[in-house]
Amino acid sequence: MKYHKIPDETIRRMPMYLRAFSMLKTEHQDTISSIHLAERLHLKPPQIRKDLSYFGAFGTRGIGYPVSSTAKQIRSILKLNITQKAALIGAGRLGAAIAEYPGFSMFGFDIAAIFDNEPSKIGTKVGKNVVEDISKISMIRDLDIHLAILAVPADAAQSVVDMLVGCHVKGILNLSPCYLVVPRSMKVVTIDLAMELGTLPYYM
Binding site for a second copy (CB under 8 A): 11-12, 14-16, 18-19, 40-41, 77-80, 84, 86, 92-94, 96-98, 100-104, 106-107, 109, 146-147, 149, 153-154, 170-173, 177, 179, 187, 189, 191-204
Smaller CB separation from a second copy, 66 or 171: 171
Rounded to whole angstroms, how far apart are CA atoms 69 and 43?
22
Rounded to whole angstroms, how far apart are CA atoms 152 and 66?
42
The least distance separating a second copy from the CB of residue 160, rounded to whole angstroms, comes to: 17
Q: Residue 56: CB partners within 8 Å, gap ≥ 6?
A: 73
The least distance separating a second copy from the CB of residue 62, rounded to whole angstroms, comes to: 26
The least distance separating a second copy from the CB of residue 100, rounded to whole angstroms, comes to: 6
Smaller CB separation from a second copy, 141 or 146: 146
> What DSSP letter does each residue of 25-70 carry, written as one string?
HHTT--EE-HHHHHHHHT--HHHHHHHHHTT----BTTTBEEHHHH
Smaller CB separation from a second copy, 139 or 186: 186
Rounded to whole angstroms, how far apart are CA atoms 98 and 193?
14
Rounded to whole angstroms, how far apart are CA atoms 129 and 187?
25
Smaller CB separation from a second copy, 61 or 184: 184
Rounded to whole angstroms, how far apart are CA atoms 182 and 184?
6
The least distance separating a second copy from the CB of residue 50, rounded to whole angstroms, comes to: 15
Rounded to whole angstroms, how far apart are CA atoms 153 and 178?
9
The least distance separating a second copy from the CB of residue 21, rounded to whole angstroms, comes to: 13
Smaller CB separation from a second copy, 45 or 177: 177
The least distance separating a second copy from the CB of residue 60, rounded to whole angstroms, comes to: 25
Secondary structure of residue 170 in the 3-state scheme: coil
Smaller CB separation from a second copy, 61 or 93: 93
